[in-house]
Amino acid sequence: MPDHSTAYIGTAFVAGVCLALTYKELSRSKQDENATEQPRTKDLVARPGPPTIVEGIEGCIGNTPLFRIKSLSDETGCEILAKAEFLNGAGQSSKDRVALSMIEIAEEQGILTPHSGDTIYEGTSGSTGISLATLARAKGYLAHICMPSDQAIEKSNLLLKLGAIVDRVPPAPIVEKDNFVNRARALAKTHTASSGLSPPPSPSAASAEEKADLPEPDESMKRGRGFFADQFENEANWRAHYEGTGPELYAQCDGRLDAFVAGAGTGGTISGVARFLKPLLPKLTVVLADPQGSGLFNRVVYGVMFDLKEREGTRRRRQVDTIVEGIGINRVTANFEAGKELVDDAVRVTDAQALAMARWLVEKDGIFIGSSSAVNCIAAVKTARKLGPGHRIVTVLSDSGSRHLSRFWAKAGDVGGAVDTKLEDVMNARDEDFE
């Protein structure tokens, strides 16, 4: 019996050692398994793109996502893709690219010097001013923005919070000196003249004959020079899209797209993208999306700049007749002309259609956009129907609806619990639907 007890104890001891070794090996195997799993988890969340850390807020501009608008794609049988320019990281619009390009080129030319008291002046309906005001502070400048007084009040409120001086001026045609663009140009000249510094090598410098008509200087003009950004005529505008937006779209689409659809205010986006893409994709159809009251539709289709309500040479109405902000114009700009010959077609979009499309995109996709983006989406649908199913159409979502609450979205109204709107109701929307 004692011998058996000894044997039992010995056997138990050996079994315990084996069990401990087995448990240790299993634990080590589990740790090794977890170690091999961890890199796979990292690979799942890592995405290609710009470096993780960029230099300043300006480093957050560009490389915006391109996504499929599910509802419009499903309804048309085409792949309708949207470039999410409202996700640019400075002023949250496509104008971030333009503002950065204008500032950097001015710096290269010696027109702007950081932290010298130089002030950037611009006449804008809002988004370009917001981008300029943001980047001005980031790069060591001040900003003075002139804008029509009928634009959404949240735009000027935001400009003030960004530290810009804001002039809301009554709407006036470009042929009058009180037009918001002309006022910005004149203020830049006054600033330079009153600073006692030599004028920058740019068209914003005033001649002796012009100085008598310039506004009176104020305290903010005692330092530095005034730089008129001139987004409508400054070629840095279209070049920003030629060097950025166009190449990004080509890469994101793997070189396969059938149509590019965009509105035009200054014309920089459509010209820059068209100039990059057309040589690479000769069969690409470039389509202008134009709101009511704008003359660009007729400029493309008939070769003459006029609106239905006015004859060529008589363009003295106070304002483009539309609730849409940011696109649509009744004059020729250098940026639009830079790519006009590459624009194949144009689509007219009414205010009612834009309002209905904005509501549709919230209802169906949870996409909250501004007025010009809604115009682009209507034109994208019309283009898809014209080309037929199976095509890929790319458009631009320029900015968020949050900048259009007090005007455009006030008229569009609350979407509420709507879930069953038909696309035909959007495309056939009438003004009385929003009265």
Quote the CA–CA distance of 130 and 407 in Å, as a whole number: 18
Q: How far apart are the first and last CA of the chain?
A: 105
Instruction: Dump pLDDT digits (tens) for 39-59.
Output: 444 454 445 555 689 999 999
CB-facing half-sphere around the CA of 64: CA atoms within 13 A: 28
Close Cβ partners of 230 (under 8 Å, ≥ 6 residues apart): 122, 185, 203, 204
Cβ(289)–Cβ(349) under 8 Å? yes
Which pLDDT value is given to residue 173? 87
Quote the CA–CA distance of 198 and 407 in Å, as a whole number: 42
Active site residue 139: no
Which of 24, 70, 95, 309 is catalytic? The answer is 95
Instruction: Dump pLDDT digits (tens) for 318-371.
Output: 445 789 998 999 888 999 999 999 999 999 999 999 999 999 999 999 999 999
Per cent of the chain over pLDDT 90 is 71
Which pLDDT value is given to residue 336? 96
Domains, the chain:
60-89+238-433 (3.40.50.1100), 113-198 (3.40.50.1100)
Quote the CA–CA distance of 331 and 417 in Å, as a whole number: 42
Which pLDDT value is given to residue 193? 86
| Cα angle 314, 296, 266; round to 5 | 100
Compute CA 215 distance to the chain's CA centroid, rounded to the nearest angstrom.
32
Quote the CA–CA distance of 263 and 168 in Å, as a whole number: 24
Q: Looking at this protein, which amino acid is placed at residue 46?
A: A
Residue stretches of the chain with pLDDT short of 50: 1, 17, 35-42, 44-46, 203-210, 212, 311-319
Quote the CA–CA distance of 56 and 330 in Å, as a whole number: 37
Instruction: Dump pLDDT digits (tens) for 227-254.
Output: 999 999 999 999 999 999 999 999 999 9
Cβ(287)–Cβ(269) under 8 Å? no
Whole-model pTM: value is 0.82
What are the contacts of 38-41 at 24+ separation with CB within 8 A?
none
Close Cβ partners of 397 (under 8 Å, ≥ 6 residues apart): 82, 83, 84, 85, 86, 367, 369, 373, 376, 377
CA proximity to 381, closest of 93, 14, 152, 76: 76
Alpha helices in 140-216 (DSSP H): 153-161, 180-195
CA dist 424 → 348, 349, 409 (Å) = 16, 14, 21
Q: Please, what's the b/e burial string for 361-386 (b: 16 or more CB within 10 A of its CB; e: otherwise)?
A: bbbbbebbbbbbbbbbbbbbbbbbee
Quote the CA–CA distance of 235 and 11 in Å, as a whole number: 90
